[in-house]
Structure 1
């Protein structure tokens, strides 16, 4: 087996690459609100719809969610084997005061391509 000299610059470049890869897979949820006629529409992007919980209680709408990713890789250089694994997780919770008279039956949730859309019917 041939000997190879350890090069700290190569090792640092590999670590920087792995950290950059992990950072690109981290996510955070963004929440935006809009109106559509008399309806209030809340859009949560950056999450899987199955990871979102929507609750109506005491005149408040609460949207909670979370998720995560994990990756692992293995490589060989100069007879040495390197293993790397990373994981990320995040969670969020947003609460909104509901207009008077809005009940749970007035709130609907629809999955979207990037997350979930919550519609409060006749919010005006």
Structure 2
């Protein structure tokens, strides 16, 4: 294997690319609320819909979930082969006040393209 002279400019450029990629994938969940007739809708974007837990207890609705992902890439630059990988994981928990007569059976969830929508019947 031939020796290559270390070039700080190329090393810095690769580091900046890797950091930009990691920043792109590290994000938090966002929450939007709306009403649909008498129903309250809570949409949480940026979490895995299959890992969401929604509980109602004592006038509180709690939504818990996780988000995360991983990326990897490799490239050949100036005769050298470079590969990088990154992963991120974060947890999400948010509680909301709901009317005291709301029960678990009044709550339904449905996955969306990038999160989950929670519907609470007769809570608006």
Instruction: Give the TM-score range, shorter chain.
Output: 0.7 to 0.9
Contact 1:3 1:78 in 2 (8 A): no
Change (3 A) 1:13 1:62: same
| Structure 1, unaligned runs of 5 or more | none
Q: Secondary structure at the match of 1:16?
A: helix
Aligned to 1:5: 5
* Farther off after superposition, 66-75 or 26-35: 66-75
Alpha-carbon separation, structure 1, partners of 2:99 and 2:86: 43
Alpha-carbon separation, structure 2, partners of 1:75 and 1:39: 51
Instruction: State the Cα RMSD in Å.
Output: 1.9
Aligned to 1:106: 106
Contact 1:56 1:103 in 2 (8 A): yes
Aligned length: 124
Instruction: Spell out, residue by residue over 1:67-105, the C-alpha distance to the aligned partner (whole angstroms, 9 max, x if none).
Output: 211233444555655442221111111001111311111
Contact 1:43 1:118 in 2 (8 A): yes
Instruction: Spell out, residue by residue over 1:15-74, the C-alpha distance to the aligned partner (whole angstroms, 9 max, x if none).
Output: 100111111122211011111111111110112211211111222110011121123344
When normalised by structure 2's length, the TM-score is 0.87
| Structure 2, unaligned runs of 5 or more | none
Alpha-carbon separation, structure 1, partners of 2:117 and 2:2: 59
Alpha-carbon separation, structure 1, partners of 2:59 and 2:91: 23
When normalised by structure 1's length, the TM-score is 0.87
Change (3 A) 1:2 1:110: closer
